[in-house]
Structure 1
Amino acid sequence: MKRKMKRWMQGTLAAVLAVSMLSACGGGNDKPSQGVEGEGAAKPFQGKKLSIATANHPWGDAIKELIPQFEEETGMKVDVQSYFEDQLSQKLTVQFTSGSATPDVFMYSPLQHAKQFYNNGWLQPLDEYVTKNADYDFEDFSKASVSTNTIDGKIVGIPTITEQHILYYRKDLLEEANIAVPKTMDELLAAAKALHDPSKEMYGFSARGQRSALVSQISSFMYSEGGEFMRDGKAFLNSPESVKGMNTYATLLRDFGPPGVLNMSWPQAIGVFAQGKSAFFADVNSIYLNAADPEKSTISDQIGYAVFPAGDAGSQPFNIASWGIAMNAKAADKDAAWAFIEWATSKEIMLETQKLGNPGSRLSVWASPEGTVAFPKELAEVTMETQKGGVDHSLPQVNAVGEARDIIGSIVQRAITGEDIQAAADQANKEFQALIDNESGQ
């Protein structure tokens, strides 16, 4: 690990010194970072202080454990503050609204905040930074995860945690019933129906049913039928393609789901699966331990993982960066801030965090045997396959994501309770279009 840190420092030091020289000649706007002579020359940020805000997340925990090595190699002092997800969002919003230069670097949820934060001028575009050091190899990041962190053609964050929508299934139940792993939506519906037996507390399918929580999950069903939340600035919820995808999801939960599904977010839904009470569960790959951990699950040795089933448009699951790391546009020393981001998302450090079970965004790390040690073999294979394509968002790409989720989630909830889904989609489409128009000033 020490040797890897040295290699990282050699590459980033060369880039920093080059930028500093350009700045000294009038080619940069930020003050150049000052190195020190002699032995300290390898520490270009000696005496610098950096403030970092992270979420209470396994990736944040892993990075905090590694930061002393970064401090030793760079001479920089890093102050890390961690918050629960909602607290982090509120903290960042309050500080950035006031024009604060801290935190310099922060974790953020791209799908929830990238558009809003960028439009408010809070995110520093990183396009000029990602190509400074050839060893950083920005092309190594999956294209979908980079796209999730791109607004108006600008890279506004670096992906740290990725999530792909996959299908979990019970190997034993499918084998006993001589049912093949579903590869299409029709096959999933048929298999869920065949294995659904409420009299034995066995349900064909479990997934999120809460109004807001389900929106990200219906996205893959919509995409795989050719649908979308919006297209060319227009709401697309009541299109035949979108309605077909949402109807499949609603049918699975209404006809083959467990009791109380309308109140289930992912912890409750995967809990049903982990307790051996559902044949299929569809959600993100990153939560697999909630079902695979023998201490939490009664079926840990019977779990299968499969690529998301195909609809009329093929298999089009979301493939997103659920967390990223970004730079405050008002950070006092942007070179120092970038040095931390570059280190935290380097191949070497992403390998270390992924070995602890944090699914990263670098393709080379997934291709490395060391990079998959924390994941079941089949899950790693499904993840790598899904990384090749998929859709770069699982939520509507608007500023008011929360309001949009409530509007869209009501469609599926109404369908689950027996209402006409087309009528529900028509009404929601009007409400969503009004939100879109309001944001665009129409």
Structure 2
Amino acid sequence: MIRIRKRARRLLTAIAGLTLLAAMTAGCRGDDGRTERPGADGLGESLLGRSITVYMGNSPAAEAIRTLLPEFEAKTGLKVDLTSFTNEQLSQKLSVQFAAGSANPDVFMLRPLEELRSFGVGGSLEPLNRFVSGDAEYDFADFSQAAVESVTLDGTIAAMPLSTEQQILFYRKDLLEEAGLPVPRTLDELEAAAGRLHDPAGGGVYGFVARGQRNALVTQLSSFLYSEGGDFQQGGKATINTPEALEGINRYVTLLRRYGPPGVFNMGWQQAAGLFSQGKAAFYTDASAIYAIAIGSEQSSIKDKVGFALFPAGRAGAKPYSITAWGLAMNAASDRKEAAWQFIRWATGKDIVMKSQQMGNPGARRSVWSDPRGVAGFPESYIAVVTESMRIGVGHDRPQVVNVGAARDLIGDIVVQGLLEEDIRAAADKANRDFQALIDKERSP
């Protein structure tokens, strides 16, 4: 559970069930003790002359915020010192800052399903419940439930959703039409259709492609598990060798081994998307956010031949992941929390999410997805698939542990063994024991 400093814990207890510090209706005290009166848009008027530090990863979400930042600074008087890093550089920089107990950055981007738990256990995340409570204009309930699940740690809101992605099915409309096949709605239908369209020797087309790299494939494997009724774990118990999980794993292995391309062991999303965009696969499943790459450039031979479909249903129904890919969090050690919150509130508010999504960054607010302005530029069939996936999706796409990388390696190895035609059940049993040991180690005092 997130470790909250004593002062913050007392504050949270005091305001439980109340409105946001009474700030949104009756004024509040600024970081320096001055009284500030929020304007009609909820932004405080006493931020003039103050500053915060923000760290961001390189992503469309960060670029949208950087582009729109001048209007926030002009409106509030708050100076934002924003620095961008590559994903790995950002994670390393944050780890160093938090280990030193630094008050900087005040606000930072993070990949919730990769880093939320590790940063939370370290006590570096400021709980945001008190900021969103009672703020009708911010409308926290507008965020998709699955996106909120991704940024919630042990019942505490640890970050705000910034961008989302869902697992969807990409397919070749022309190939299905020529073969007289419907769009697969179940995993059984997907497997059958992939078999019918698999023709690498004659037509140069594989039936199916997806990630095959041991670590990278785990996120895409997740929807297969969920749709068969399985998951990586249930609370503190590893469940990767349950009958339901094995059904999902076997399905993924079968599709890749029988109908996938050679060299699939070396395929991350870039390689798999590249092969599909070259017209060399009938079906491809991965994150919705990479749709523009999957359909290829304007010169691509399949540009107008790609369809989008909901992830096919298994025995438990259609259960694709629907996650927060990037979130905005607050440093628990920051001494400028009110100013930091105003930035987060602005960056994840309806107006900026609308503008950001119009720039190509898929947001987490349902109102924006249901507004014609928010979906302009996206293919119509894609919009329907994403919005439905947001409604029914599962809010995680990987094991929920601190050492996510190690867990992904353990689980991904089951698929690798299956592709090598080794015993999947034996591999799953071994992975489950090792995964349980990892869970137990992290849970021990």
TM-score bracket, shorter-length normalisation? over 0.9
**What is the Cα deviation at residue 34 of structure 1?**
5.4
Is 1:235 the counterpart of 2:243 in the alignment?
A: no
Whichever residue aligns with residue 82 of structure 2, its letter is V
Partner deviation per Cα, 1:87-131 (whole Å, 9 max, x = no partner) = 000000000110010110011000001111111100000000012
Whichever residue aligns with residue 48 of structure 1, its letter is R
SS at match of 1:169: strand
SS at match of 2:378: coil
SS at match of 1:419: coil
- TM-score normalised per structure 2: 0.91
The alpha-carbon distance between structure 1 residues 157 and 78, as it changes in their structure 2 partners (threshold 3 A), is same
SS at match of 1:160: strand
Taking the aligned partners of 2:47 and 2:134, their CA distance within structure 1 comes to: 17
The alpha-carbon distance between structure 1 residues 83 and 174, as it changes in their structure 2 partners (threshold 3 A), is same
Partner deviation per Cα, 1:141-183 (whole Å, 9 max, x = no partner) = 0011011100111000000111111100000000000010001
Partner deviation per Cα, 1:181-216 (whole Å, 9 max, x = no partner) = 001111000000000011032100010000000000
Correspondence for 1:54: 56
2:45 to 43, 46, 49: 43
Whichever residue aligns with residue 337 of structure 1, its letter is A
Matches within 5 A, 1:170-185: 170-185=172-187
Aligned 8 A contact 1:33 1:335 in 2: no
Taking the aligned partners of 1:125 and 1:391, their CA distance within structure 2 comes to: 23
Whichever residue aligns with residue 261 of structure 1, its letter is V
Whichever residue aligns with residue 92 of structure 1, its letter is L
Correspondence for 1:316: 319
Partner deviation per Cα, 1:32-61 (whole Å, 9 max, x = no partner) = 35559xxxx973200011101010111101
Partner deviation per Cα, 1:212-231 (whole Å, 9 max, x = no partner) = 00000100000000111011
Is 1:405 the counterpart of 2:437 in the alignment?
A: no
Taking the aligned partners of 2:350 and 2:288, their CA distance within structure 1 comes to: 21
2:209 to 206, 209, 222: 206
Matches within 5 A, 1:275-424: 275-295=278-298, 297-424=300-427
Correspondence for 1:435: 438
Correspondence for 1:32: 33
Correspondence for 2:14: none
SS at match of 2:431: helix
2:276 to 273, 276, 290: 273
Aligned 8 A contact 2:278 2:296 in 1: no
Aligned 8 A contact 2:230 2:245 in 1: yes
Whichever residue aligns with residue 141 of structure 1, its letter is F
The alpha-carbon distance between structure 1 residues 79 and 421, as it changes in their structure 2 partners (threshold 3 A), is same
Taking the aligned partners of 1:296 and 1:211, their CA distance within structure 2 comes to: 32
**What is the Cα deviation at residue 16 of structure 1?**
6.1
Is 1:189 the counterpart of 2:191 in the alignment?
A: yes
Correspondence for 2:4: none
Taking the aligned partners of 1:252 and 1:104, their CA distance within structure 2 comes to: 46
Percent identity over paired residues? 52
Matches within 5 A, 1:119-134: 119-134=121-136
Whichever residue aligns with residue 59 of structure 2, its letter is H
Taking the aligned partners of 1:401 and 1:54, their CA distance within structure 2 comes to: 21
Taking the aligned partners of 2:413 and 2:269, their CA distance within structure 1 comes to: 17
Matches within 5 A, 1:105-116: 105-116=107-118
Whichever residue aligns with residue 105 of structure 2, its letter is P
Whichever residue aligns with residue 402 of structure 1, its letter is G
Correspondence for 2:147: 145
Aligned 8 A contact 1:50 1:77 in 2: yes
Whichever residue aligns with residue 161 of structure 1, its letter is S
The alpha-carbon distance between structure 1 residues 130 and 179, as it changes in their structure 2 partners (threshold 3 A), is same
Whichever residue aligns with residue 205 of structure 2, its letter is M
**What is the Cα deviation at residue 300 of structure 1?**
1.0
Aligned 8 A contact 1:183 1:309 in 2: yes
Is 1:259 the counterpart of 2:267 in the alignment?
A: no
**What is the Cα deviation at residue 233 of structure 1?**
1.0
1:102 to 79, 101, 104: 104
Whichever residue aligns with residue 376 of structure 2, its letter is V
**What is the Cα deviation at residue 296 of structure 1?**
6.8
SS at match of 2:406: helix
Whichever residue aligns with residue 360 of structure 1, its letter is G
Aligned 8 A contact 2:228 2:317 in 1: yes
Taking the aligned partners of 2:319 and 2:303, their CA distance within structure 1 comes to: 27
Taking the aligned partners of 2:429 and 2:241, their CA distance within structure 1 comes to: 5
Taking the aligned partners of 1:33 and 1:363, their CA distance within structure 2 comes to: 36
Q: How many residues align?
A: 420
Taking the aligned partners of 1:147 and 1:296, their CA distance within structure 2 comes to: 39
Correspondence for 1:159: 161
Taking the aligned partners of 1:111 and 1:98, their CA distance within structure 2 comes to: 23
Aligned 8 A contact 2:27 2:35 in 1: no
Partner deviation per Cα, 1:372-423 (whole Å, 9 max, x = no partner) = 1131110011001111121110010000000000000000011011111111
Whichever residue aligns with residue 400 of structure 1, its letter is N
Taking the aligned partners of 2:34 and 2:182, their CA distance within structure 1 comes to: 60
Aligned 8 A contact 1:351 1:365 in 2: yes
Whichever residue aligns with residue 76 of structure 1, its letter is L
2:95 to 88, 93, 96: 93
**What is the Cα deviation at residue 31 of structure 1?**
4.2
